[in-house]
């Protein structure tokens, strides 16, 4: 069937690394590629390279459950994630690449009076910032989502939901490919199979990176390696308040369209949507221990499936098709870090926890600003590394959908 498909042009070049770049970004995930694109587009920085140890989008970008939303309520999180949502809304046009944004709406379910109050408060904060939010009662939820368990015997009765209509999903691979192609066209060198194993210093300042393809000089270096943030910081001689844990995702066999929205369970960490191909896509809690293994395991499978069945009992009749894991960069307050590090010339974008896919456009936007100008972008002033020393944490759990 593919015999006629020969001689296609490459979507991005495969350049040999130059000896020196103005900016090097380590990590060819969504965040690294978006950073390179906005550095070239918004700041017109001359020579930029993205160094990726494997293939672009092979990390969490290509492993996540693709939910995008902006239902945050603390500090910089509120306006930052809403700016990301706005960038998502124009991204296919901006990149000239269909990222398949599907604003199908997300329901965050609530199961107690206390959760109703917490959802009301969150919704009010969102609306005060011009973000769409609606508090729905149980009847309205049942009309929109008849497939959930509303029986008196349900383990966790549904009291209502906080609904964001502009939330939804986007195609994760397309995000990596779209940013890569657009960045390449602005002259960014995307170098795959290039692993950074150390830094070059001149005095106290980082002036380059050591890689399996040799040493490459740089004016500034940005780290955007998600679950490997701690390892890169260690190479540069400092520690991060980040732990790496595995988060797993699950896809069922394909079935006819039955779930029009994204649903977040409020009684356990569980969320579900249906893909264009018909599979139910869902996920839940992290593995409870630190790891860099990009694979799933049976205890979490059992834990997540039990939440699925509590919410939608009919899921128990489905067969599971695929199951995998990605390495999450968990900060202790659930919020990210974007900006300078204690090492001169070295900048960090990390600590995305469960929720960095939705942040991809704004993260690239703000990190590009930091790399071009130093300091923090005005939308990311709270996302400092120093906040952990100063006790200025933004305690908003990376899990997001839980409204308490
Ligand atoms: P990555 O794609 O992981 O990119 C980092 C890159 O750095 C990798 O490609 C890696 O190979 C490279 N790298 C590492 N070390 C080196 C080195 N030494 N040298 C060179 N390159 C290196 N977020 C949401 O918003 N919504 C969701 O629904 C959602 N669901 C998720 C479900 C799962 C199962 C997982 C695993 C994550 C989920 N996330 C979700 C989180 C989201 O995927 C991440 O927060 C985000 O993708 C992280 O940023 P990134 O895309 O740049 O990371």
Reported as a single tens digit per residue, the pLDDT across 17-44 is 999 999 999 999 999 999 999 999 999 9
**Smallest Cα–Cα separation from 188: which of 46, 86, 356, 315?**
46
Task: Please tell me the predicted confidence (pLDDT) of residue 1.
Answer: 65
Give the mutation target among 27, 199, 215, 273 for probing the ligand 1 site: most ligand atoms within 8 A of CB.
Answer: 27
- Determine the atom of ligand 1 nearest the C-alpha atom of 31: 52
Residues 6+ apart with CB under 8 A from 317: none
Whether 150 contacts 109, CB under 8 Å = no
Which amino acid residue places its CA nearest to atom 37 of ligand 1?
Answer: 64
**Smallest Cα–Cα separation from 11: which of 175, 172, 182, 173?**
182
Q: Measured in whole angstroms, how far is the alpha carbon of residue 87 from the centre of its chain?
A: 14
User: Could you tell me which residues are beta bridge partners of residue 222?
Assistant: 25, 347
Write out the E strands in 58-159.
Answer: 67-68, 106-110, 134-137
Tell me the backbone φ, ψ of residue 226, rounded to 5 degrees.
Answer: 50, -115
Tell me the backbone φ, ψ of residue 228, rounded to 5 degrees.
Answer: -100, 10
- Determine the atom of ligand 1 nearest the C-alpha atom of 67: 28
The interaxial angle of helices 30-42 and 356-373, nearest 10 deg, is 40
Res 221 pLDDT > 90: yes
**Ligand 1 neighbours (beta carbon < 6 A):** 26-32, 51-54, 58-61, 63-67, 195-196, 224-226, 228, 247-249, 283, 326, 328, 352, 354-358
Task: Please tell me the predicted confidence (pLDDT) of residue 397.
Answer: 72
Q: How confident is the model at residue 404 (pLDDT cuts 50, 70, 90)?
A: very low
383/152: higher pLDDT: 383
User: Could you tell me which residues are beta bridge partners of residue 243?
Assistant: 330
Task: Please tell me the predicted confidence (pLDDT) of residue 255.
Answer: 97
Run of H or E including 106:
strand 106-110
Give the mutation target among 60, 351, 367 for probing the ligand 1 site: most ligand atoms within 8 A of CB.
Answer: 60
Using DSSP's 3-state secondary structure scheme, residue 108 falls into strand
Q: What is the pLDDT of residues 99-156, one digit of tens each?
A: 999 999 999 999 999 999 999 999 999 999 999 999 999 999 999 999 999 998 999 9
Q: What is the pLDDT of residues 175-212, one digit of tens each?
A: 999 999 999 999 999 999 999 999 999 999 999 999 99
Written as one string, the DSSP assignment of 189-202 is: EEE-S--EEEEEEE
Mean pLDDT of 355-380: 97
Run of H or E including 369:
helix 356-373
Using DSSP's 3-state secondary structure scheme, residue 144 falls into helix
Write out the E strands in 43-182.
Answer: 48-51, 67-68, 106-110, 134-137, 160-164, 168-169
Task: Please tell me the predicted confidence (pLDDT) of residue 401.
Answer: 40
Res 45 pLDDT > 90: yes
Task: Please tell me the predicted confidence (pLDDT) of residue 8.
Answer: 84
d(Cα 225, Cα 210) in Å, to the nearest integer? Answer: 16
Using DSSP's 3-state secondary structure scheme, residue 149 falls into coil
Which amino acid residue places its CA nearest to atom 18 of ligand 1?
Answer: 196
Res 311 pLDDT > 80: yes
Cα(175) to ligand 1 centroid in Å equals 12
**Smallest Cα–Cα separation from 241: which of 383, 113, 101, 344?**
383
Which amino acid residue places its CA nearest to atom 36 of ligand 1?
Answer: 326
- Determine the atom of ligand 1 nearest the C-alpha atom of 324: 34
d(Cα 49, Cα 46) in Å, to the nearest integer? Answer: 10
Cα(135) to ligand 1 centroid in Å equals 32
- Give the number of C-alpha atoms closer than 13 A to the C-alpha of residue 290, restricted to the C-beta side: 10
Poorest-pLDDT segment among 33-42, 336-345, 394-403: 394-403
Task: Quote the mean pLDDT of the chain.
Answer: 95
Cα(61) to ligand 1 centroid in Å equals 5
Cα(356) to ligand 1 centroid in Å equals 7
pTM for the full predicted model: 0.96
Cα(111) to ligand 1 centroid in Å equals 31
Res 241 pLDDT > 60: yes
Q: What percent of the chain has pLDDT over 90?
A: 94
**Smallest Cα–Cα separation from 286: which of 320, 330, 252, 323?**
330
Q: What percent of the chain has pLDDT over 70?
A: 98
Which amino acid residue places its CA nearest to atom 5 of ligand 1?
Answer: 225
User: Could you tell me which residues are beta bridge partners of residue 250?
Assistant: 282, 323
Which amino acid residue places its CA nearest to atom 14 of ligand 1?
Answer: 225
Task: Please tell me the predicted confidence (pLDDT) of residue 9.
Answer: 86
Give the mutation target among 62, 357, 360 for probing the ligand 1 site: most ligand atoms within 8 A of CB.
Answer: 357
Mean pLDDT of 378-401: 85
């Amino acid at each position: 069937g593919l015999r006629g498909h020969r001689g296609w042009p490459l979507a991005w070049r495969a350049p040999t690394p130059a000896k020196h770049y103005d900016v090097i970004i380590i990590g060819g995930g969504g965040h690294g590629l978006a950073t390179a694109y906005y550095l070239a587009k918004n700041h017109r920085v001359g020579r930029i390279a993205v160094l990726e140890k494997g293939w672009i989008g092979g990390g969490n970008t290509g492993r996540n459950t693709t939910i995008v939303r902006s239902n945050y309520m603390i500090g910089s999180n509120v306006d930052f994630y809403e700016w990301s949502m706005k960038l998502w809304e124009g991204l296919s046009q901006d990149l000239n690449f269909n990222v398949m944004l599907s604003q199908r709406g997300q329901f965050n379910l609530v199961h107690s009076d206390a959760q109703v109050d917490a959802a009301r408060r969150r919704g009010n904060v969102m609306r005060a910032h011009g973000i769409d939010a609606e508090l729905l009662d149980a009847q309205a939820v049942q009309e929109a989502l008849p497939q959930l368990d509303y029986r008196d015997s349900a383990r966790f009765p549904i009291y209502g939901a906080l609904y964001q209509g502009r939330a939804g999903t986007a195609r994760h691979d397309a995000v990596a490919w779209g940013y890569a192609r657009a960045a390449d066209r602005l002259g960014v060198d995307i170098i795959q199979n290039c692993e950074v194993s150390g830094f070059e210093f001149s005095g106290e300042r980082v002036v380059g990176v050591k890689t399996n393809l040799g040493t490459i000089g740089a004016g500034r270096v940005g780290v955007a390696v998600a679950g490997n943030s701690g390892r890169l910081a260690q190479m540069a001689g400092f520690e991060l308040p980040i732990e790496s844990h595995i988060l797993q995702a699950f896809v069922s066999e394909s079935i006819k369209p039955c779930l029009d929205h994204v649903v977040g369970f409020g009684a356990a960490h569980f969320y579900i949507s249906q893909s264009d191909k018909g599979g139910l896509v869902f996920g839940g809690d992290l593995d409870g221990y630190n790891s860099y293994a990009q694979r799933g395991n049976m205890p979490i499978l059992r834990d997540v499936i039990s939440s699925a069945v509590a919410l939608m009992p009919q899921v128990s009749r489905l067969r599971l098709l695929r199951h995998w894991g990605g390495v999450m960069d968990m900060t202790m307050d659930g919020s990210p870090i974007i900006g300078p590090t204690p090492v001169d010339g070295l900048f960090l974008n990390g600590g995305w926890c469960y929720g960095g896919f939705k942040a991809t456009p704004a993260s690239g936007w703000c990190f590009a600003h930091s790399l071009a100008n130093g300091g923090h972008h005005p939308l990311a002033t709270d996302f400092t590394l120093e906040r952990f020393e100063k006790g200025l944490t933004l305690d908003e759990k990376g899990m997001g959908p839980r409204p308490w």
